[in-house]
Structure 1
Amino acid sequence: MRGKYNGCRMTIYGTILPGAISIARSAFLTDKLTERAKYKIRILDWHRAHGNNASLTARHFGIGRMTLYRWLKRFKHYGIIGLNEYSRKPKHLRQPTISGDIVIRTVQLRKQYPAWSKHKLRALLKREGIEVSVSTVGRILKRRGLINR
């Protein structure tokens, strides 16, 4: 073991196989890949093997070039895990601006006067000191199923 290795410890990771750590890490991460991500990897591998020709790859697999470019960008930025699907669910939803008291009072008035329109109900609410628009009253009634249309 003279000469070439110059007294270095020969381990699997590092000296003999310089990329072995990243290969082992990638093998560990592939367990977490979905089938769709594995499909994307096959496409990206075919893309690389055929000279990085996006048009040819897109035609061959029947996908858009922009889709391929998006996958390449995510792969370069996040690695293999970046090819997994991510949640598109909104992180924040608008909170209702109408208080529960207004909703309860509007429903009570509607049950008391079922034939009255949202315009008349709004007038009653205004007399009680509750300032809401006609469309708000209509939305409350619609959500509660109190409109017969």
Structure 2
Amino acid sequence: MELARSERFRPQAEQILREQRTRLRKAGVPGALELVGGSSVDGAMTKGDVDLHLRVEPAQFESAVARLLGMFAVVHPEIWCATLATFEVPADLPTGLAVTPIGTEHDERFSRMWRLLAADPGLVAEYNSVKTDATAAEYENRKSEFFDGVLDRWAEHPSGKSTL
């Protein structure tokens, strides 16, 4: 797996974010769309993919997902649950969209993790080590374990506090 620094892909990632914000707004999809993932954090290593996170009010989650089903292909249906839906977004770079109700565990995990990394170069270095040291087979599990550890370890980090 080839990795590169996030800055290499940031301009394209931000363009994809702008395009998708416009597309969702025109389709009447509620919520706030954010750029998350490795491409959102300075110095982070990334595969060159783009991760988008759509945060919606809990009462609007089902209707937002219903609208998105008509716009995007479902991806990873095995992880879908009452507070998480995931889609593939057609774009110049591989792009995924995670949808969560604001204030849920999945929402906090997506939002807080990337704020923590953006605020702490030491965490970015740890994140990069996890990504560069993992084999392709262990990549996703190692990354998930890292996220769990960071969120547990930094529960009181100022950048990790809930934005709610």
- State the TM-score bracket (shorter-chain normalisation): under 0.3
Please state which structure has a larger fraction of its residues in helix: 1
Higher relative contact order (CA 8 A, sep 6+): 2
Q: Which has the higher strand share?
A: 2
Q: Please, what TM-score do these two structures have when normalized by structure 1?
A: 0.25
Tell me which structure has the larger Cα radius of gyration: 1
